[in-house]
């Protein structure tokens, strides 16, 4: 049986790494993603907090899966923001990733005009993502494009199309089925995962119920959600996904809710025998 690969986004537990460390020990999780700490997002996390995270990671043997600076979540027409996120936000995050030994940096696919949801990503947007991948490649870091509601990379199919247009060997998908605009249709989600195939290098785990006419859903336990994680795990197992599953809770109270998701997801991994045939 292969080793369980479960990680968690640390600020889904707490902004305080004393609390994060307690949770990781309690639930025997050895891998993390870093987004915010002490109220600041990567790469702007205060230096004393950053040094504490590094020390804890080294002493506890935590694997740093990814850093998420939140770049490219703005309007695709905001060229000033795009330039700043490339030249400052991403550059500084690369420095942080090298410093802490993170395997991936997560980016997003720009928000489209909601009056034209089917429009293709303009060439200059694809060019910005390609440049980001090139900057990461020069530092031997992989860049993950996370699908996001309202972005050019919302569904698996659209994410794949953008990745193919970028064509960089170090750029892959951070697949989040709950972030797909069809997340309440498990059959379509399984199809999206199959379409992405080995482009998927990391998977975010959360669940929710759709809210009519709203872009974002109401998040909650897997047992109450609409993703259909059992079927989705079978689809991911079929395509041979062997990366990490990152818990990304999204509902309060964070510590207790993250505990619920970890326990629910581990039960599903067991019930689907997910690691039984993965070598």
Name residue, tokens 């998908």.
173
Report residue 276's pLDDT band, with 50, 70 and 90 as the boundaries: confident
Question: What pLDDT does 185 receive?
Answer: 66
Question: What pLDDT does 18 receive?
Answer: 98
Query: Is residue 257 within 8 Å of 251, Cβ to Cβ?
Result: yes
Nearest residue to 151 via CA among 181, 186, 189: 181
Distance separating alpha carbons of residues 136 and 91, to the nearest angstrom: 9
Report residue 279's pLDDT band, with 50, 70 and 90 as the boundaries: very low
Statement: residue 17 has pLDDT above 50: yes
**Stretch 19-30: mean pLDDT, rounded?**
98
**Stretch 177-195: mean pLDDT, rounded?**
80
Statement: residue 27 has pLDDT above 60: yes
Question: What pLDDT does 115 receive?
Answer: 83
pLDDT in tens, 51-82: 999 999 999 999 999 999 999 999 999 999 99
Question: What pLDDT does 278 receive?
Answer: 42
Statement: residue 175 has pLDDT above 80: yes
Question: What pLDDT does 184 receive?
Answer: 62
pLDDT in tens, 83-118: 999 999 999 999 999 999 999 999 999 999 888 888
Strand partners, 174: 146, 202
Distance separating alpha carbons of residues 30 and 7, to the nearest angstrom: 7
Report residue 14's pLDDT band, with 50, 70 and 90 as the boundaries: very high
This prediction has a pTM of 0.96
6-271 maps to which CATH number? Answer: 3.20.20.150
- How big is the chain by its Cα radius of gyration, in Å? 18
Distance separating alpha carbons of residues 127 and 139, to the nearest angstrom: 19
- Please report, for the chain, the start and end positions of each structural domain, with discontinuous segments joined by +: 6-271
- Calculate the average pLDDT of the chain: 94
Query: Is residue 178 within 8 Å of 206, Cβ to Cβ?
Result: yes
pLDDT in tens, 207-241: 999 998 888 899 999 999 999 999 999 999 999 99
Question: What pLDDT does 2 receive?
Answer: 77
In this structure, what token pair is assigned to residue 138? 């020069």
Q: How many C-beta neighbours within 10 Å does residue 127 have?
A: 14
Question: What pLDDT does 214 receive?
Answer: 87
For residue 61, with 0-12 CB atoms within 10 Å meaning exposed, 13-18 middle and 19 or more buried, which class applies?
Answer: exposed
| Helix and strand counts by DSSP (H, E) for the chain | 9, 12
5 conformational bin, left if phi > 0, alpha if psi -120 to 50, beta if neither: beta
DSSP-assigned letters across all residues of 85-115 = IIIIIIHHHHHHHHHHT-SEEEE---B--TT
**Stretch 149-170: mean pLDDT, rounded?**
96
């Amino acid at each position: 049986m292969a080793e369980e690969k479960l990680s968690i986004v640390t600020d889904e537990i707490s902004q305080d790494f004393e609390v994060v460390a307690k949770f990781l020990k309690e639930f025997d999780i050895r891998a993390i993603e870093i987004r915010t700490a002490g109220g600041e997002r990567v790469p702007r996390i205060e230096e004393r907090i950053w040094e504490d995270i590094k020390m804890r990671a080294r002493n506890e043997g935590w694997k740093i899966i990814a850093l998420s600076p939140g770049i490219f979540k703005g309007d695709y027409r905001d060229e000033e923001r795009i330039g700043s996120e490339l030249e400052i936000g991403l550059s500084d995050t690369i420095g942080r990733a090298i410093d802490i030994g993170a395997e991936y940096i997560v980016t997003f696919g720009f928000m489209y005009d909601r009056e034209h949801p089917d429009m293709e990503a303009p060439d200059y947007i694809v060019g910005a993502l390609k440049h980001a991948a090139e900057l990461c490649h020069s530092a031997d870091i992989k860049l993950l494009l996370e699908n996001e509601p309202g972005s050019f990379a919302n569904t698996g199919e659209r994410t794949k199309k953008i990745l193919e247009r970028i064509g960089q060997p170090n750029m892959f998908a951070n697949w989040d089925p709950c972030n797909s605009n069809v997340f309440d249709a498990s059959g379509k989600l399984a199809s999206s995962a199959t379409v992405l195939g080995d482009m998927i290098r990391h998977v975010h785990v959360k669940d929710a119920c759709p809210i009519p006419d709203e872009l974002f859903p109401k998040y909650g336990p897997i047992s109450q959600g609409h993703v259909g994680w059992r079927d989705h795990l079978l689809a991911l197992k079929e395509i041979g996904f062997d990366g990490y599953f990152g818990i990304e809770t999204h509902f309060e109270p964070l510590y207790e809710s993250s505990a619920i998701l970890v326990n629910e997801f581990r039960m599903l991994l067991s019930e689907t025998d997910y690691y039984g045939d993965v070598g």
